[in-house]
C-alpha cells in the first residue's frame, strides 16, 4: 500500500507540473492574442498524455538526474506537449511526422 501511495503522489507531482507548463503556454497564447480563449480540455489532455510518458521513465530519470532538473523537465514537457497536441491533432499530420522521423533515421544510417 505504501508503494501505491508513493506512485500516486509521484504521478500527481508530474501531472501538476506538466499541467502548469501547458497552462502557462495557453495563457501566453491568449495574452498575445494567438487564441481567443483558454482551451482547458486541450490543456488537461496534453498534460495527461505527457505525464504518462514521463511517469513511465521516471524511475530511470530520477536515478540519473537531480529532483530540480526533473521538475524543470516536467514543466518544459508540459510546454512542449501543448504545442505538439495543437500541431499534430489529426492523423494525417501525425503520419507526416512519422515519415520525417524515418527519413532522418535513414539519413543517419547513411552517415555511418
Backbone phi and psi for residue 21, each to the nearest 5 degrees, phi listed first: -65, -45
Backbone phi and psi for residue 65, each to the nearest 5 degrees, phi listed first: -120, 155
Q: How far apart are CA 56 and CA 32, in angstroms?
A: 34
Compute the average pLDDT of residues 17-22: 92
Identify the domain containing residue 58 by its residue range.
2-111
- Look-up of cell digits 483558454: 38
pLDDT over 90 (residue 36):
no
86 exposed, middle or buried (CB, 10 Å; 0-12, 13-18, 19+)?
middle
Compute the average pLDDT of residues 17-37: 86
What total number of domains does the chain contain? 1
**Consecutive H or E run containing 100:** helix 91-111
Q: Where are the beta strands (DSSP E) in 1-112?
A: none
Q: pLDDT digit string (tens) for 50-77?
A: 999 899 988 888 888 888 999 999 999 9
Amino acid at each position: 500500500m505504501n508503494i501505491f501511495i508513493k506512485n500516486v503522489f509521484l504521478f500527481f507531482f508530474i501531472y501538476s507540473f506538466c499541467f502548469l507548463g501547458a497552462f502557462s503556454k495557453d495563457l501566453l497564447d491568449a495574452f498575445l492574442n494567438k487564441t481567443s480563449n483558454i482551451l482547458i480540455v486541450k490543456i488537461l489532455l496534453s498534460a495527461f498524455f505527457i505525464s504518462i510518458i514521463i511517469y513511465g521513465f521516471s524511475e530511470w530519470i530520477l536515478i540519473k538526474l537531480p529532483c530540480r532538473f526533473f521538475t524543470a523537465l516536467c514543466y518544459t514537457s508540459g510546454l512542449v506537449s501543448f504545442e505538439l497536441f495543437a500541431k499534430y491533432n489529426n492523423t494525417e499530420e501525425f503520419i507526416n511526422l512519422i515519415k520525417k522521423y524515418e527519413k532522418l533515421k535513414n539519413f543517419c544510417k547513411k552517415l555511418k
